[in-house]
Amino acid sequence: MDVISLDDPTDAQIGQWHAVLEAVHAGDPAGEPAPAREQTAEHLLGAPHQRLWAAVEGGEAVAVVVLRLPGGPGADRPGEIDIRVHPAHRRRGLGTRLMAVAAEGLRADGRTSVIAQVLAGTPAVPFLESHGFVCVLTLSGLLLRLDDLPPDRVPALVAAGPPGYRLVRWRGSVPDRYADALARAKHAMADLAEYEGLPWNARRVREMADMVAKRGDDLYTVAAVQGSTVAGFTEIVVPAEAPERAAQYDTAVVPEHRGRRLGIWVKAAMLRWLATERPEVREIETDNVGDNAHMLAVNEELGFRRQRESREYQAAARDLPSIHRSPL
């Protein structure tokens, strides 16, 4: 078995990578939907700041790993790791071997920690725990099927907006006049900000929007504004390749504006906008932090239903396996 770096993959290598993802999906159809081949190609070629390796046997890729290095070389943020092993090749140490290779990349970039997002109840949990990862966040996966929404729910919620606020919305990067205010509102997601250990500022807000645009996906934002303050906002991303299922990104209400139903208001306004702007969207998926009862209640009132639980795991880079100690 060889591990090869695929930082500039050929078309044939993209095909092999995609075949591993398809096999992983076929082995666990309840997991993430299998991407289309073009999506795989886009993620491998288009996403910035990532490194790729494949474990190859008999000329075929049997396991793959993506190491994302958000913020670019040497940034003071955790790396993100995603390992996929073909179901026919598991429990032979391939996952551990790719973890060791990615760990070298992580340490070489000066990162001190790494995170991985996985589904509860899958082999990923004992795998990561066997490598010293600890669960730092539990997320409930929720899905809203727009066809199941009673027709009067969204108009009623939009009409019930609190006095003193107005709705603004934009597609793509934030307009200059709201950039700093949006960054301040992103601080409202205190748990997440602390967890990422990095303050939000206008530059980081734009960096996130650029990343979505580079993938070819569309970012939509609806905000509740009072004067020049963004009191609350919600973001949705419609993927280019599979626009039927949009993804909820951040939603937050600034602490001093909480308790006025701004969260549900901006979310309802987003649904109304998407219905005209992107009628092909049929479902919206979202993750809620396990102990965020308030946001769960908002989502359940809107019509989201619980699907699955995912977990974020974290480990210190120095505790990860080394290629010199890896079994293969």
309 binds ligand COA (CB under 6 A): no
Chosen residue from 130, 132, 177, 318 binding ligand COA by CB under 6 A: 130
Q: Does 82 bind ligand COA (CB under 6 A)?
A: yes
CB of 326 to ligand COA, least distance (A): 9
Residue of 91, 176, 324, 325 that binds ligand COA (CB under 6 A): 91
Kindly tell me which residue out of 9, 78, 79, 95 binds ligand COA, with binding defined by CB under 6 A. 95
Burial of 105 from C-beta contacts in 10 A (0-12 / 13-18 / 19+): buried
The residue range among 115-123, 171-179, 247-255, 314-322 that interacts with ligand COA, by the rule CB under 6 A, is 115-123
Q: Out of 25, 43, 90, 278, which residue is the one contacting ligand COA (CB under 6 A)?
A: 90
- Compute the least distance from the CB of residue 29 to ligand COA, in Å: 12
Q: Which part of the chain contacts ligand COA (CB under 6 A), choosing from 41-49, 92-100, 134-142, 247-255?
A: 92-100
Q: Which two tokens stand for residue 235?
A: 């973001």
Using the minimum distance from each CB to ligand COA, give the nearer residue, 23 or 167. Answer: 23
Instruction: Indicate which single residue of 123, 162, 172, 243 sits in contact with ligand COA (rule: CB under 6 A).
Output: 123
* Distance of closest approach, residue 313 Cβ to ligand COA, in angstroms: 8
CA distances from 247 to 68, 146, 198, 274 (A): 20, 13, 23, 12
* Span near ligand COA by CB under 6 A; candidates 40-48, 83-91, 270-278, 286-294: 83-91
Restricting to residues 13-52, name those near ligand COA by CB under 6 A: 24
Tell me if 61 contacts ligand COA by CB under 6 A. Answer: no
How many other CB atoms are found less than 10 A from the CB of residue 94? 23
CB of 104 to ligand COA, least distance (A): 16
Dihedral (CA of 82, 87, 88, 91) sign: positive
Neighbours of 212 (CB within 10 A): 19
* Minimum separation from the CB atom of position 6 to ligand COA (A): 17
Question: Given the rule CB under 6 A, which of 8-16, 84-92, 190-198, 260-268 is the region that contacts ligand COA?
Answer: 84-92
Nearer to ligand COA, 27 or 290 (CB): 27
Strand partners, 67: 51, 81
Residue 186: φ, ψ to 5°: -65, -25
Among 9, 35, 93, 239, binds ligand COA (CB under 6 A): 93
Is the CB of 36 or the CB of 328 nearer to ligand COA? 328
> Is 85 a binder of ligand COA (CB under 6 A)?
yes
Q: Cα(304)–Cα(105) distance, rounded to whole angstroms?
A: 39
Residue closer to ligand COA by CB (options 90, 278) is: 90
- Residues of this chain that interact with ligand COA (CB under 6 A) are 24, 81-85, 90-96, 116, 118, 122-124, 126-127, 130
